[in-house]
Amino acid sequence: MSELVEGLYRLGDPISDHATPDVDITKMWPEKQFTNKLVNPANRRKLSVIIVGTGLAGASAAATMGQDGYNVKVFCYQDSTRRAHSIAAQGGINAAKNYNDDGDSVYRLFYDTVKGGDYRSRESNVYRLADVSTKIIDQCVAQGVPFAREYGGLLDNRSFGGVQVARTFYAAGQTGQQLLIGAYQAMERQVQAGTVQEFTRHEMLELVIVDGRARGIVARDMTTGEIKTHLADAVVLATGGYGNVFFLSTNAMGCNATATWRAHRKGALFGNPCYTQIHPTCIPVSGDYQSKLTLMSESLRNDGRIWVPKRREDADKDPRDIPEEDRDYYLERIYPSFGNLVPRDIASRQAKNVCDEGRGVGPLVGDFRRGVYLDFADAMARLSKDQVKAKYGNLFDMYERITGESPYEVPMRIYPAVHYTMGGLWVDYDLRTTIPGLYAIGEANFSDHGANRLGASSLMQCLADGYFVLPNTIRDYLAEGPFDKVTDDAPEVVEARAQVEDRLQKLLAIQGERSVDSFHKELGHIMWEYCGMERSDEGLRKAIGLIRGLREEFWRNVRVLGSADTLNQSLEKAGRVADFLELGELMCIDALHRRESCGGHFRVESQTEDGEALRHDDEFAYVANWEFTGIDETGALVPTLHKEELVYKFIELKQRSYK
């Protein structure tokens, strides 16, 4: 085995993506669809696929694979497949339709996404994403998704952070809900047709690997506690992101990394774990009982203006009493051409900067006021109150419900919060992980967004993966099948099951002093403090030590009441937090090793003179893929790093500038 680097990880062999066809970028996807093997319709019935997750990625994949005639089993932890967290997406979905003739094109969407991702994504995947984006809109409209329309009956578009064209399709402030309901309905149709079987309130707790191939999962029926194995010819993970490692995030309470982490532990490489996106427009924290943070859609930045007082003394004044000349519209000042629409990472960091200078607003939390104003006074003067209401009414209502203040009267207060994780399981052009037969789609994979995701691009990626990409790539693998039959009593299956049962019993047996949530909150605190918006060598090292200590305490001192054979929400949480405690450490190790700033990853040691992120393309233009190689006797994670070099053939590497 190779030497430990910095005492933390080992360097393994580089890997590369062999699945991308070696042709011009515009021809790659057609080429791939052609060369991938086909499965004879009569054989599809004999093949089975497990899809874990019913968000946009999972539901769309299940609907399509079901329609193609495979036997599909889908799993989710909610009580209905319609409730996956994709439902919460507010702002919209991008597509290069160029309906406004404002210069948009597949190539521009491709370019914007690569640039927005700070040149840390794989060109071939991103180009394909941009290419299929237009079909997504056609598909959704045909399903009856009620997108916003103009009076002429045609679809309306808005613009979003990081781009200068209007290519975002939306349905008021609930685009995610409408798209998910569309995909859900398409999937329910297949349930009726008998091709898809749903397992709701089922949590995947382990991956089953037989002869080196992913062949199933071990899942717990959350209502009865029954542990069951489900076997199939291929497994697809569509389990979303891991932002909840921070405890407070815009993710749903149940979002977790268990499925991907278990796969990682069984050999799937984890790509770029440290890339997290902090969203600039969330409602600030109001107290320590807070269970989650609520996002105010980024679309608000289209019409709202962000400012803080020029002077600290004005911080607790009524914002309406602060005259124009005493306000600092800092984004418009620093980035004149993008103004309030700069990408999220930049908007977030600048908000942190002004608050750190003591110019934040809202209640004092600790020593600082953590909030900036998002002001609609101008918009209301320019449009009418009714027009503002039509556009943002539900967001304003939500804000008022939570804070008790009306944004029609006083400016909103916003602050950045953890929102999205660009990292995830490494996949090749076929969306296949490093385990044969195991695929990852949607937010669960690392693929398309590099170091920073542009607004409205995740929904696009999830649906591209699920409707159009996966069904066309997985067939190349399934064509090799049906694989040898695996039964419940195969040794690998029995072992996977036993592992799950042991772990649950272990958690219940500890009977310590502290609740699961208290560990989760403490972990979140460490992550936000040291692996959040700004990361430093010193802070990350400290965090790694703290997390190891916390993990050790967790397995000694957690208190999980009740039993494993009923609905037991503490037990569910305990398993998730146990995995977060390992993932958190890996995120810090990844953040520590990447001594550059890029996208959502900002290292204080790597910035320009005026405080902008500074990339080091010569050293770090690669995807950092981590292999799980165990936890050593001191309780430390000792992962192995496999780099995938990023080669830019079609877009020139440049420092991003939004000035």
Partner 1 sequence: MATNTLPAAERTSKAGTTLFLKTLMAVSGVVFVLFVAAHMAGNLKVLQGERSFNTYAEHIRTIGEPILPYAGLLWILRVGLIVSLVAHVASAAILAARASKARPQKYQVKKNPASTPSSRTMRWGGLALLLFVIFHLLQFTAPKMNFGDGQTGNPYQLLVGSFEIWWITLIYFAAMVALGLHLHHGVWSAAQTLGLTSTPKSRRIAKTAGAVVGLVISIGFILPPLLVQFDVIN
Partner 2 sequence: MNLTLKIWRQDGPDVAGELVTYPISDVSPEMSFLEMLDVLNEQLIEQGVEPVAFDSDCREGICGMCGLMISGEAHGPEVTTTCQLHMRSFTDGDTITIEPWRAEAFPVVRDLVVDRSAFDRIIQSGGYISVNTGAAPEAHSTPVPKENADRAFEAAKCIGCGACVAACPNASAMLFVGAKIRHLGEMPQGQPERDARVVSMVNQHDHEGFGGCTNIGECAGACPKEIPLDVISTLNSDFRRAKRHS
Ligand X SMILES: Cc1cc2nc3c(=O)[nH]c(=O)nc-3n(C[C@H](O)[C@H](O)[C@H](O)COP(=O)(O)OP(=O)(O)OC[C@H]3O[C@@H](n4cnc5c(N)ncnc54)[C@H](O)[C@@H]3O)c2cc1C
Q: Write the CB contacts of 443 (distance below 8 Å, at least 6 apart in sequence).
A: 55, 57, 240, 241, 420, 421, 424, 458, 461, 462
Residue 63 or 351 with smaller CB distance to partner 1: 63
Using rule CB under 8 A, residue 79 touches partner 2: yes
203, 375, 430, 590: which one contacts ligand X (CB under 6 A)? 203
Q: State the amino acid at position 456 in one-letter form.
A: A
To the nearest 10°, the Cα dihedral for 137, 139, 141, 147?
Answer: -40
Q: Which helix (H) or strand (E) segment is 328 a member of?
A: strand 327-328
Q: State the amino acid at position 199 in one-letter form.
A: F
Residue 459 interface partner, choices partner 1, ligand X, partner 2, none, CB cut-off 5-8 Å depending on type: ligand X
**Angle between the N-to-C axes of helices 28-35 and 470-478, in degrees from 0 to 180, rounded to the nearest 10:** 30
Residue 566 interface partner, choices partner 2, ligand X, partner 1, none, CB cut-off 5-8 Å depending on type: partner 2
442, 450, 532, 584: which one contacts ligand X (CB under 6 A)? 442
Instruction: Indicate if 344 belongs to the active site.
Output: yes
Least distance to partner 1, CB of residue 562, Å: 24
Residue 300 or 354 with smaller CB distance to partner 2: 300
Residue 191 or 638 with smaller CB distance to partner 1: 191
The helix/strand/coil state of 386 is helix
Residue 121 or 157 with smaller CB distance to partner 2: 157
Q: Binding segment for partner 1 among 29-37, 62-70, 158-166, 359-367 (CB under 8 A)?
A: 62-70
- Please report which residue ranges of 313-343 form alpha helices under DSSP H: 330-334
Rounded Cα distance between 580 and 117, Å, is 25
Using rule CB under 8 A, residue 468 touches partner 2: yes
Residue 253 interface partner, choices ligand X, partner 1, partner 2, none, CB cut-off 5-8 Å depending on type: partner 2
Three-state SS letters, 569-616: HHHHHHHHHHHHHHHHHHHHHHHHHCCCCECCECECCCECCCCCECCC
Residues 288-347 that bind ligand X (CB under 6 A): 295
Catalytic hit among 344, 413, 432, 475? 344
86, 190, 272, 421: which one contacts partner 1 (CB under 8 A)? 190
Using rule CB under 8 A, residue 43 touches partner 2: no
The helix/strand/coil state of 197 is strand
Check if the beta carbon of residue 638 is closer than 8 Å to that of residue 586.
no
How many amino acids of this chain bind ligand X (CB under 6 A)? Answer: 45
Residue 186 or 490 with smaller CB distance to partner 1: 186
Assigned token pair, 549 = 């200590």
Rounded Cα distance between 620 and 597, Å, is 10
Q: Binding segment for partner 2 among 23-31, 34-42, 62-70, 336-344 (CB under 8 A)?
A: 62-70
Residue 192 or 634 with smaller CB distance to partner 1: 192
Residues 238-297 that bind ligand X (CB under 6 A): 238-241, 250-251, 255-256, 258-259, 295
Rounded Cα distance between 55 and 184, Å, is 8
The helix/strand/coil state of 317 is coil
Question: If we measure between CA atoms, which residue out of 336, 328, 375 comes closest to residue 354?
Answer: 328
For residue 482, say if its preceding peptide bond is cis, omega within 30 degrees of 0: yes
Rounded Cα distance between 480 and 432, Å, is 15
Rounded Cα distance between 279 and 397, Å, is 20
Assigned token pair, 124 = 């071939």
Residues 262-281 that bind partner 2 (CB under 8 A): none
Using rule CB under 6 A, residue 182 touches ligand X: no
41, 103, 404, 491: which one contacts partner 2 (CB under 8 A)? 404
Pairing of strands 234-237, 438-440: parallel
Using rule CB under 8 A, residue 67 touches partner 1: yes
Residue 58 or 309 with smaller CB distance to partner 2: 58
Q: Which residues bind ligand X (CB under 6 A)?
A: 52-58, 75-78, 84-86, 88-93, 175-176, 203-204, 238-241, 250-251, 255-256, 258-259, 295, 419-420, 442-444, 456-459, 462
Question: Catalytic residues, which ones?
Answer: 344
